[in-house]
Amino acid sequence: MSKMIKNEPTTYLQEISELILEQKETLSNSILEDEHFNYKHAGNNKDRLQHLRLQLIQLYGETIPLPLSITAKKLKDWGKDYADIFVSLNIPLDHAIEEVHFYRNEIGLIIKKAAKYENLDLDMFYELISGFDLVVDTAVQMVSTSYMEKYISNLRTAEKEIDELSVPVVLLGDGIGILPMIGDIDTNRAQILMDNALKSSVDLGLNNLILDLSGVPIIDTMVAQKIYQVIQALELIGVETKISGLRPELALTMTALGVEFRGIKTFSSLHLALQHLGFMRTTN
């Protein structure tokens, strides 16, 4: 990051570094004076967040007399931890970046005053401030990348949990279960369908499973093939599958796509499928 003499940092850079580190507690607390950065819902995470702010200033100070490559790994680890807490608190990414810039401004003033005191020439000051800006830019990049990775990971986990909840197997008794499908089915949900159908059929001791498609608006070739694979897999573990809710428009679409469910009993309604299995509608 800076001029080196026989691989040793120059004296003025070391002095500026020490000056920043001496004030790290004051610097880290200065952000608390701004209500914009006072996250009232942080709760027990406030101490952890403040510790990470202190770490950032520590890294800023340490990097002044050293090449960025030496502290890059520390910055990456810090950025991951920093991003994680902002994602967990549901605080937007721009707030995290603003915090990084907040400390750049504070430390920038320290560097400016020290440069004047040291009588640095223009070239030396430019090298110093450019090196520091590079560190800040790296910190922003690490936080941004880690934030998006964590956010996307959480989003995918939530989507998976929702999908799993949307394909429950309902036990009717006597070894009979229903798996009602509602909404659009893509290949991902179809895979979850297979996993849940197999696991639940074993756990519930099913002999018969009704796959009800009443709530499914459309089925494409890939999804139809996946459903057929589910039925074949269920057959291997001794579960006979029936399909109900096969409306005329679905049947026409599947026929046009060349999808066939040979040897599989299908019914236009769930009621008829249940009736076939001996469940009769009763009235009081």
Domains of the chain with bracketed CATH: 4-163 (1.10.490), 170-276 (3.30.750.24)
Single out the residue of 139, 224, 233 nearest to residue 187, CA to CA.
224
**Rounded distance, CA 138 to CA 188, Å?**
36
* Across 38-52, 98-112, 175-189, least confident range: 175-189
Q: Which are the contacts of 202, defined by CB distance < 8 A and separation ≥ 6? A: 237
pTM score of the predicted model: 0.58
Compute the average pLDDT of residues 7-15: 67
Tell me the per-residue pLDDT of 135-166, one tens digit each, with 9 for 90 and over. 999 999 999 999 999 999 988 877 766 665 55
Single out the residue of 156, 172, 166 nearest to residue 195, CA to CA.
166
